[in-house]
Chain A
Amino acid sequence: MLAYILRRLLYAIPILIGVNLITFALFFIVNTPDDMARMQLGVKRVTPEAIAAWKAERGYDKPLFLNAEASGAAVVSDTIFFAQSARMFVGDFGRAEDGRDIAREISSRMGPSLAIALPTFVLGLLVTISLALLLAFFRATALDFWGVVLCVALMSVSGLFYIIGGQFLISKLWKLVPISGYAGGLDAWKFLILPVLIGVVSGIGSSTRWYRTIFLEEIGKDYVRTARAKGLAETVILFRHVLRNALIPILTGVVAVIPLLFMGSLLTESFFGVPGLGSYTIDAINAQDFAVVRAMVFIGSVLYIVGLLLTDLSYALVDPRIRFDR
């Protein structure tokens, strides 16, 4: 088991290097640092000196991959690629355009992101699994048919409308909770209800339909027929046998998403003015703050790889047929 985890961790290293190469190519080769300096400085202040100063301040004035002027290990290490990529592995992301330390900003914004993402995730899972179970129980009836129709309709509504509509109905018409904003500590709850509710509702359509398919697939299997032949009640079959077995693909599929919860949701956070990582990313995109976007891409990739690892482990934990000594 330990050897397996180690091997998976080692396998993650080339992927991270690949991610770094891709983002590096995107940020430094598609556009030269000169172009970026010109964008950042604006039209008015562009002088060769200003560009040079901008680049020197960020260390973008070095060669891209190989420094021919240096000697020894510095040929590789005194370059933009090495300087920008290597430090990311130790959690140093440099400074944003406004001079703040990105790593500190990220760690302080993780809390609000999680405060929305985690309840949304757990509640969403509970609600959609229950609804899917309901549809599977009443399969091939009018309830099932219209339930699926409703799911498809819910799927066809853009996420933007869920947020706009939810804010309008609950905050503006009924005045139940504030439209947007955030407060630290225990006061956060009234700011959290609406985003969490909207997050759950907007996920109902696609997830319920997907889980319903998994349940129906499970119901068609032989052991269910056997259980029925033994005379078990339909509810017992559904809750005892089908639910447990169907949870394996559902939960293992869902595990991959858990680490990404840290990233928050771009849409929700920017609509509700939550100072999380999602809104941080959006602000960086709008301000064309390349360092922040690059840092977020890196963190996102790390979390995704952690998610893959967790998925493999969870498969092994819930399904004894899977063994590691391959």
Chain B
Amino acid sequence: MSALPFLPVLLWSDVLVWLMAIAALLLGIASTRQPQLAAAWRRVGRSRPGMASATLVLVFVVVGLLDSLHYRPLLPAAPDAPAAPAAYAVETLSLLDSIAEPLRTRNEKTYSAPLATRAFAKETREERAADGSVRQVRDFPRLRYGGAHLGDADGTSDASSASAGPAADDGTQTATARPRLSEADRDIDITRRAGSALAAALALWALLLLAATSLLARREAVPLAEASRRLWRGETVFAWKAVLLTLAAVFIVAAPLLALCADYHVFGTDKVGQDVFYQVLKSVRTALVIGLVTTLTTLPLAIFFGLAAGYFRGWVDDLIQYLYTTLNSIPGVLLIAAAVLMMQVLIDTHPQWFSTAAERADMRLLALCFILGMTSWTGLCRVLRGETLKLRELEFVQAAQSFGVADLRIIARHILPNVMHIVVIALVMDFSSLVLAEAVLSYVGIGVDPTMISFGTMINNARLELAREPMVWWSLAAAFTFMFALVLAANLLADAVRDAFDARLAGSS
């Protein structure tokens, strides 16, 4: 019997993220049956900025979901005891880690610039001349992995450079056999690879364009040329043009990155030599978990208390109002700080709860989501209470009451569906602010676990790098660009969703 090549690990955040994804999908399908909600979603689909940003958000979500399937790889069996039971590594990896294996494992010693083949700082190294005399040379050392396929730069055959050679199996060869590396070689190599990747990406994009056009042609029963014309003129019900153009932009950026990232550090490496591109990819999941799981804790509280306060009024209302006024009175950051501080003590004093470091970091992330949720449900709760107060006076609710329908049933059947648009709007509006909040909290030291890669920890580690001479800009630039793209897309999507769902409100009243 052979053991599984990996041991699946279910982290709690994985479960919740996948649940959220599936729930969103099911809700989307269910809302197509409700004519009003379906109309609102169609309005979102027609909105060009909305669909462009949705496409970008979807790309981020795919990266995040790939990073949310965790496993522990099988350790190679010890040669002296092949019959021993299979042992799995303590390290928890994700599907993204295994796809991006070279990014994760090929660590340099310290900083290196994007696409560099040599380290960022000079290092003193001994060089043995032919006559046996040793002299010290100060030079930028060759990177272990950045552009390793281009060959060794130094052209010397001393033992130190061979052992520090590109890979272990190459170490036996002498470096003199290889051509000397020049910057021009590197530039040619980069251009060639990026060019062919771009060509492939454009071909793929053309295929997608063809598929979209033919789908459109089939659906609207027009010839292909007419469908293409409608698509490019933006005369389609669904904003195909925006989606395709965004995809083209994503392809143009992503293709060279993907083609080059295996052999170069496309965004450079950070202080401990880790690939920045890998860090950026990992940060996406943390941001998504914070943005999505927090709303998961917010929604039940806000909906339950908001509807109960608005519907039952009287002492229930007083009690719930007291509860949220009290919670609201504590400034958010301070409440979060206090709660996170206490959670840290709790986690540190109970190490027996967690079997791996990943589990502990994950629990801390979830606890942060929970704390953020506990401090942010009050706003939505107040809005829902106000809306319910209005709704309960309307004729259809009063009719139901006079028929003797139970209160819970009235809330579930008549009130909840009529406040759903507020919930949807709040959900998408909160996402971007939560992603931003994570960065700030991690900087302050009350965010995610320091070992967990997130935009906040990236910025925190890199914040002094601009003050260096010469300055190290790539970590911050990469974190900035990706975070900006994610938050901007989320903001634009939120606007589109809000406009679409508010329009429903305006149309019905």
Contact = CB atoms under 8 A, between A and B. Distances in A.
A285 B444 contact: yes
15 contacts: A14-B322, A18-B323, A26-B338, A26-B339, A30-B346, A31-B342, A156-B488, A157-B484, A158-B483, A158-B487, A160-B440, A282-B444, A288-B344, A293-B337, A300-B330
A285 B446 contact: yes
Interface stretch (B19-27, B100-108, B180-188, B459-467): B459-467
A293 B329 contact: no
Instruction: Across the A-B interface, give the 8 residue pairs with the lowest CB-CB distance, nearest first.
Output: A18-B326, A156-B488, A300-B331, A156-B487, A301-B329, A31-B345, A304-B329, A30-B342
B279 interface: no
Given A153-B488, A266-B333, A285-B446, A159 B346 contact: no
Interface residues of B, number: 45
A164 B476 contact: yes
Contacts of A36: 345
Contacts of A158: 436, 439-440, 455, 459, 480, 483, 487
A205 to B, nearest CB: 10
Contact of A160 (B325, B327, B349, B459): B459
Interface size class of A (residues with CB under 8 A): 35 or more
Main secondary structure of the interface of B (DSSP, over half): helix
A71 B363 CA distance: 44
Nearest to B464: A164
Interface string B430-460: 0010001001100111100000000100010
A156 B433 CA distance: 9
Given A22-B326, A266-B444, 13 more contacts: A14-B322, A19-B326, A30-B342, A152-B488, A156-B487, A164-B459, A164-B466, A167-B466, A266-B440, A293-B337, A294-B338, A297-B331, A297-B334
A263 B353 CA distance: 37
A100 B334 CA distance: 21
Interface of B: 322-323, 325-331, 333-335, 337-339, 341-346, 348-349, 432, 436, 439-440, 443-446, 455, 459, 463, 466-467, 476, 480, 483-484, 487-488, 491-492, 495
A27 B326 contact: no
A238 interface: no
Contacts of A281: 334, 337
Interface of A: 14-16, 18-19, 22-23, 26-27, 30-31, 35-36, 38-39, 152-153, 155-161, 164, 167-168, 172, 179, 260, 263, 266-267, 270, 281-282, 285-286, 288, 290, 293-294, 296-297, 300-301, 304-305, 308
A293 B342 CA distance: 11
Contacts of B466: 164, 167-168, 172
A164 B476 CA distance: 9
B270 to A, nearest CB: 16
